[in-house]
Amino acid sequence: MGQGFKRSQRDYSLAFKLSVVEQVEKGEMTYKQAQMRYGIQGRSTVLVWCRKHGLQDWTHPRGLSQRRATMTDKSTKPLTPEQRIKELERQLREEQQKSALFETVINILRDEYGVTIKKPLGQAISRKQVEGLSVERACRCIGISRQAYYQRHQRERQCQDRAQTVVKLVQPIRLRQPRIGTRKLHSMLGAAFAQANIKVGRDGLFDILRQQRLLVQPQRAYHKTTNSHHRFRRHPNLLKAGPEQVIATQPEQVWVADITYLPTAGKFVYVSLVTDVYSRKIVGYHVHGSLQTEEVSEALKMALRGRQGKTPLIHHSDRGIQYCSTCYQEIHRRYGLTCSMTDGYDCYQNALAERINGILKGEFLLNRPADLKQASKMVAQSVRIYNQERPHTALKYKTPGAVHRAFM
């Protein structure tokens, strides 16, 4: 990140703070390393987060973890010249055996496995870990010229400088979107790469992030929230492939709704979402502690309050008891919505809503909130970042909010 760029606490989302605290408490990095890695300003910012959101007890100061052991030097009798010669001969034989073993291993790696050793040996030379070994002698042992070594060393330094610049450009985005994918990062940073005169392709960005351990690891979890065994009426699926399939051509023609769970430090809470099919924008959401219909309907009410057009609107969902209930269907009749439902308990018939659930939980809601209030704050921040900042592949790397505004 650039020098002199000041940040306030509003720039750090709650999910990001909890993620940093978890990494520090697990011992994956110190609080100073976290500040350097994520570009967090302030000498004690991470410590404040640990005291506020962490699980450790900060009421008592830590004692010394371990006392340093003291070592006493034992007086030894000096060796005679004959004993010293025998000792040196023994050490020489061991070093010759070790050298022969390493040469054999290197030959096997090169001949049978095709492993090149020039790069690691060049790194060993540059680090100067062998005392008294000159570059000329090391190159002669490896079998390369000094010119080849210096050229390789210069290329590696250029690659390292480029990687550091790329990481500095990635960090501000990962600050707000910790699990955004590499392909989307490549699309978002195209102009920044051109301005910095850096040529990095998609695969090159993958390699840089892999070396820095910044690739996103997939997470999977399942928790059933749908009860489709009830007495209420099921409506037909209007989005199913066929001659009568409804295809959205602009926003506010088709909305999809779903419910997902969110684990907290206590019991589960639930998140109801309503998403526009065309723009992929989350137009309504609500975090609640039960699966009552009144709670679930708050997301639809929020979406209807923000509705701008008057075009016919289809509401698609699964066959959950909340969506089929009289209370929820009354909202449909009041606002003139057409109801559409899946044929059964098949998540692929409501794939878009399931995908939005996965994006929120897999990229933003990474840490367990303490309670319902904290969960509501995290979801609100995540939805805002998703709608306004995260590019969508299906939208040709445009944000859902930009696509939605273009038609309104």
pLDDT in tens, 381-390: 999 999 999 9
Quote the CA–CA distance of 16 and 381 in Å, as a whole number: 11
Give the mean pLDDT of 143-150.
80
Give the mean pLDDT of 93-119.
82
**pLDDT on residue 221:** 52
**pLDDT on residue 70:** 42
Question: Is the predicted pLDDT of residue 315 greater than 90, yes or no?
Answer: yes
Count of Cβ atoms closer than 10 Å to residue 276 Cβ:
25
**pLDDT on residue 109:** 81
**pLDDT on residue 305:** 93
Instruction: Answer for the pair 252, 309: CB distance below 8 angstroms, yes or no.
Output: yes
CATH 3.40.50.10680 fits domain 254-407:
no
- Per the model's pLDDT, the better-predicted residue between 156 and 384 turns out to be 384
Question: Is the predicted pLDDT of residue 68 greater than 50, yes or no?
Answer: no
Instruction: Answer for the pair 276, 308: CB distance below 8 angstroms, yes or no.
Output: no
63 pLDDT band, cuts 50/70/90, is very low
Question: Is the predicted pLDDT of residue 67 greater than 70, yes or no?
Answer: no
**pLDDT on residue 344:** 66
**pLDDT on residue 230:** 46
Quote the CA–CA distance of 177 and 171 in Å, as a whole number: 10
- pTM, to two decimals: 0.61
232 pLDDT band, cuts 50/70/90, is low
Give the mean pLDDT of 257-274.
91
Q: Which alpha helices (DSSP H) does 30-145 contain, by range?
A: 31-38, 45-53, 81-112, 118-127, 135-142
Q: What value does the mean pLDDT of the chain take?
A: 83
Residue at 58: amino acid letter:
W
- β-bridge partners, 313: 337
- Per the model's pLDDT, the better-predicted residue between 198 and 228 turns out to be 198
220 pLDDT band, cuts 50/70/90, is low
- Per the model's pLDDT, the better-predicted residue between 12 and 286 turns out to be 286
User: What is the number of residues in the chain?
Assistant: 408
Question: Is the predicted pLDDT of residue 116 greater than 50, yes or no?
Answer: yes
Q: 23, 31, 47: which is closest to 214 by C-alpha?
A: 23
Neighbouring residues of 156: CB distance < 8 A, sequence distance ≥ 6: 122, 123
